[in-house]
Structure 1
Amino acid sequence: MTNLTCDVAIIGAGTAGLAAERSARRNGAKTLLIDTGFGGTTCASVGCMPSKLLIAAGNAAHAVKQAATFGVEASGKLDGAAVMARVRKERDAFVAGVENSIAGLPDDVKVDARAKFAGATILSLDDGRKVHAKSVVIATGSSPDVPNMFDAVRDRVLTNETIFDLPTLPGSIGVIGAGPLGLELAQALARLEVETMVFDMGDTIAALKDPHVAEALQTILARELPILLGVELTAEPDGDCVMVSWTGSATGKKRFDYLLVATGRPPQIEGLGLETTSLDLDEHGMPDYDRDTMQCGTAPIFFAGDADHDRPVLHEASAEGTIAGRNAASYPEILPGKRMVPFSIMFTHPNVAVIGKVAQDGDTDSVIGAASYDDQGRAKVEACNAGLVRFYADRRDGRLTGATMAGPAVEHSAHLIAWAIQSGWTATEVLDLPFYHPTFEEGMKPALRSICAEVHAPTPRDRDDGFTPGT
């Protein structure tokens, strides 16, 4: 077999890998993109898009159930098979779009194989060939973690990579993990009349670092489904089902048709041969890397996307791939890339967003402004008046540094705050912009006003509009 040579070899054809390949080739490098099967990105196939399709179905069912609140008589009949059929149909269309994009790559770029390092710039392929590169980008993504405690019931265990292929909705499901993925799918399933419970060994919901927003969110979500934190679990077969027992903050047992294990997605680096590269590896087998250049030490090796276990969201994967590809192409000349403010969204209802740096109570360098949506005007109109937002700002001048938000339509308003933080705006400058009435965005104003008052900053255009209640 003929060995291959290139300037930049990219391992993994997900969002980060595709961005890295484009970036490297745009910067004049001869590239090879190595992947097994080229089956589409995590987002399109098993992540962002199919989960949002299931959430959309859950929201439609929930709207029917809540119609009486508005004086509208409505009834709905759930067809679980039809729900899952639409999820797969639309998911497959998203995947096909990614596959079409991959198909547009030059034929001599794509290498359908599994790669592992045989040295810092030498890759061994599972077809017997070797790749000799000047530099390498690792974009292998992540995969679900199913703890050994579920070995006895693995035939009834689902992950985000298998749940969307169920032929119909199950009757009951236990969700293991109260992180963003677990909560999104749990609420969607509960709204689709699947008997659902969420369990987590930890004491934090949605991985939130702000305890006030976490407490508010748990109270809201618990109106729709049980969420048990701080529990130890055992699972054992029970006929065609699973019997789950728990102790700790609560004690009990329950039989489920399936378990959805959402306990994390560690990076896919096992078997990658990083020990052959002379990189210093930590106890998890991960090398240290620079988050501004994506370079591992001074080596011609770069990380991008979920493989680096840093910011596992699509826009960051694309940005990291672009930075890694450019620097891999220009190695040994390395330039830092401009990183975006950290920003993540959870698509439960209410939506949750975490932006920038989270400040804690008692942080003497920060001021914190809070606003509740319990009495917010537009939220009351829409019968979704529940939530809490907390903004963090520099005590010296009121410049916004972060936010934790749980409230109606936060997936939209959080973008405005993320842009403000990245632009270096103060709370005063945000309040000096137009807020239309009545909108959900108005609900952020009390938090911004509070910051201005504490840092003694002016609010020149934030005049009293005579309608303080409900804004």
Structure 2
Amino acid sequence: MKTVQVDVAIIGAGSAGLPAYRAAKAAGASVILIEGGPHGTTCARVGCMPSKLLIAAAEAAHAASHTAPFGVHVDGPIRIDGREVMRRVKSERDRLVGSVLDSVEAIPAHEKLSGYAHFIDDGLLQVGDHTRVRARSIVIATGSSPVIPQKYRALGNRVIVNDDVFEWNDLPRRIAVIGAGVIGLELGQALAYLGVDVTVIGARGRVGPLSDPDIKDYAKKIFSTSFRFETRAEVEAVERIGDSVHIRYRNDGGNVIEESFDYVLVTAGRKPNFDRLGLRNTSLTLNHDGGPAFDPNTLQVGNQPVFIAGDANGVLAIQHEASDEGRAAGTNAANFPRVFPLIRRAPIAIVFSDPGISMVGARYADLAPGSFVTGEVSFEDQGRSRVMLRNRGLMHVYADKATRKLLGAEWIGPDAEHIAHLLAWALQMKLTVDSILEMPFYHPVVEEGLRTALRNSVAALNATE
């Protein structure tokens, strides 16, 4: 057993850990990067990128099967080859992972360790059965893992999580998706567009991240045209029968429905990866779920030289946020006891569905009633959207009554991922809705729908004066 002494030890070499390593190095600290699992980041291996590859195939299939309204007729039915779809998904996924592996390979050998790390004491880690690391500061960037509720665990290889989808060699015939969050909606719709019979079963009325009741109701109707969508259902029993899964559930109307599926895809949330860390061997203050109690502004655990970044802290499980947190945690670890708060960017969330869902700034549910006005636009008769036959969507923007500043927005509609960036930039610049309307809006573009919503918010503000 060898012992290594460094200024900063970073546990986890993913979307937060790698930036933490680079930031600590840039601050002049001696650093060691520890990884027990596969390298390549969750985003590249089983998250953002492979899911977008599957969605891209789904969009191609959907577009090819909806050309007739334009007067463009394709002879014969569209043929979807599941093996070819998955072959491209895995091939491109491997290429993306490879680029991350190249960056890890470039790290000097003495600055990285392979093996799972756990605390022996404050500031002392054991990595695998071969190395002990004594560090002045430690960054926990161990990521998160999908949660599989107990009732599904007896299903063996018939219950899967999103990670497993990207290892398929072919597409299944029927699948049940448990959970109507972002992952459930994205993968559920993508598989449905690729010819899979999909049922999405939610429990609490959730439709992705949406909190605005009107937008949520509209989105539910949209997704119900892609797959069977039960937003408020109770799964009463699941049973594996051969290579199938039999599910009995009670829907919102009280009806009991029984169906069989090839797989059950569980998208019921994720939990931080703390199980292997031995946190109880330290003097760190732990919260009710066994994770470290930390300051979300500085990412520091209590007053200790320990920082937690990325999905492990559960604040914002988004790639660019994990990267920002990693840099902040690495910098603070290197400079401890001088610790600085993280300056966060404007909140932005995107669901890569059809049409897309976006949220910017404050959620509707978090705004104080009576303190804001809402500007609305329907994309159903919006010029460019109608031209492209992509005219489905409803948008709400929220403006503060006192300052006229943009507070946030929630919507489902065409090109939502691009419009979201415009609004996030405006929000980060603390612009009023009047100032945003002074910006150029070309004709004819989908962004003219945003202009309509902003104009309606201005009219509502003026009516309150």
Q: Shorter-chain-normalised TM-score: which range?
A: over 0.9
Give the alignment's Cα RMSD to 1 decimal: 1.4
**What displacement does 1:56 show?**
0.4
Counterpart Cα distance in 2 of 1:215 and 1:392: 18
**What displacement does 1:205 show?**
1.0
Partner of 1:85 in structure 2? 87
Kindly indicate whether residue 163 of structure 2 is the aligned counterpart of residue 161 of structure 1.
Answer: yes
Counterpart Cα distance in 2 of 1:314 and 1:362: 29
Partner of 1:236 in structure 2? 239
Q: Which moved more, 1:288-297 or 1:159-168?
A: 288-297
Counterpart Cα distance in 1 of 2:318 and 2:184: 16
**What displacement does 1:39 show?**
2.0
**Which letter maps to 2:19?**
A
Counterpart Cα distance in 1 of 2:411 and 2:213: 12
1:120/1:300 contact within 8 Å kept = no
**What displacement does 1:154 show?**
2.4
> How does 1:96-175 map onto structure 2 within 5 Å?
96-175=98-177
Partner of 2:407 in structure 1? 401
**What displacement does 1:128 show?**
4.0
Which of 162, 184, 187 matches 2:186?
A: 184
Counterpart Cα distance in 2 of 1:70 and 1:54: 26
SS across alignment from 2:138: strand
**Which letter maps to 1:336?**
P
Q: Which TM-score applies when normalising by structure 1?
A: 0.95
1:371/1:446 contact within 8 Å kept = yes
Partner of 2:256 in structure 1? 251
2:385/2:391 contact within 8 Å kept = yes
Q: Which moved more, 1:12-21 or 1:261-270?
A: 261-270
Which structure 1 segments of 5+ residues have no match? 458-471
Partner of 2:355 in structure 1? 350
**What displacement does 1:207 show?**
3.0
Cα distance change on mapping 1:181 and 1:317 into 2, 3 Å? same
Q: Which TM-score applies when normalising by structure 2?
A: 0.96
1:398/1:451 contact within 8 Å kept = no
**What displacement does 1:292 show?**
2.1
Counterpart Cα distance in 2 of 1:281 and 1:211: 36
1:405/1:414 contact within 8 Å kept = no
**What displacement does 1:280 show?**
1.9
> How does 1:55-66 map onto structure 2 within 5 Å?
55-66=55-66
Partner of 1:461 in structure 2? none
2:6/2:30 contact within 8 Å kept = yes
Counterpart Cα distance in 2 of 1:212 and 1:294: 35
Partner of 1:463 in structure 2? none
1:370/1:447 contact within 8 Å kept = yes
**Which letter maps to 2:349?**
S
Counterpart Cα distance in 1 of 2:256 and 2:426: 45
Kindly indicate whether residue 458 of structure 2 is the aligned counterpart of residue 452 of structure 1.
Answer: yes
CA offsets per residue over residues 379-414 of structure 1, 9 Å max, x none?
Answer: 111111111111112111210111112100000011
1:378/1:438 contact within 8 Å kept = yes
CA offsets per residue over residues 201-238 of structure 1, 9 Å max, x none?
Answer: 11121132111111111111111111101111121012
SS across alignment from 1:254: strand
> How does 1:313-392 map onto structure 2 within 5 Å?
313-360=318-365, 363-392=369-398
Q: Which moved more, 1:389-398 or 1:167-176?
A: 389-398
**Which letter maps to 1:67?**
T
2:251/2:257 contact within 8 Å kept = no
SS across alignment from 2:67: helix
2:15/2:310 contact within 8 Å kept = yes
Partner of 1:297 in structure 2? 302
SS across alignment from 2:294: coil
SS across alignment from 1:220: helix
**Which letter maps to 1:25?**
K
Cα distance change on mapping 1:305 and 1:372 into 2, 3 Å? same
Which of 396, 416, 424 matches 1:410?
A: 416
Partner of 1:460 in structure 2? none
Counterpart Cα distance in 2 of 1:270 and 1:366: 43
1:353/1:405 contact within 8 Å kept = yes
**Which letter maps to 2:6?**
C
Q: Which moved more, 1:29-38 or 1:423-432?
A: 29-38
Counterpart Cα distance in 2 of 1:291 and 1:342: 15
SS across alignment from 2:219: helix
Kindly indicate whether residue 224 of structure 2 is the aligned counterpart of residue 222 of structure 1.
Answer: yes
Counterpart Cα distance in 2 of 1:325 and 1:276: 23
Counterpart Cα distance in 1 of 2:196 and 2:38: 34
Partner of 2:449 in structure 1? 443
Counterpart Cα distance in 1 of 2:90 and 2:386: 35
**Which letter maps to 2:268?**
T
Q: Which moved more, 1:2-11 or 1:118-127?
A: 118-127
Instruction: Write out the 4+ residue segments of structure 1 that deviate beyond 4 Å after TM superposition.
Output: none
Count of aligned residue pairs for this structure pair: 458
1:204/1:229 contact within 8 Å kept = yes
SS across alignment from 1:143: strand
Partner of 1:71 in structure 2? 71
SS across alignment from 2:419: helix
Partner of 1:23 in structure 2? 23
SS across alignment from 1:3: strand
**Which letter maps to 2:166?**
F
Cα distance change on mapping 1:294 and 1:172 into 2, 3 Å? same
Counterpart Cα distance in 2 of 1:290 and 1:456: 40
Partner of 2:275 in structure 1? 270
**Which letter maps to 2:420?**
A
**Which letter maps to 2:315?**
D
**What displacement does 1:37 show?**
4.6
Partner of 1:95 in structure 2? 97
**What displacement does 1:142 show?**
0.5
CA offsets per residue over residues 45-102 of structure 1, 9 Å max, x none?
Answer: 0000100000000000001110111111114211110000000000000000000011
SS across alignment from 2:166: helix
2:285/2:301 contact within 8 Å kept = no
2:122/2:282 contact within 8 Å kept = yes
**Which letter maps to 2:397?**
F
Kindly indicate whether residue 15 of structure 2 is the aligned counterpart of residue 10 of structure 1.
Answer: no
Q: Which moved more, 1:135-144 or 1:440-449?
A: 440-449
SS across alignment from 1:455: helix
1:341/1:356 contact within 8 Å kept = yes
1:358/1:392 contact within 8 Å kept = no
SS across alignment from 1:404: strand
Counterpart Cα distance in 1 of 2:38 and 2:161: 21
CA offsets per residue over residues 322-346 of structure 1, 9 Å max, x none?
Answer: 0000000000011112111121111
Q: Which moved more, 1:74-83 or 1:4-13?
A: 74-83
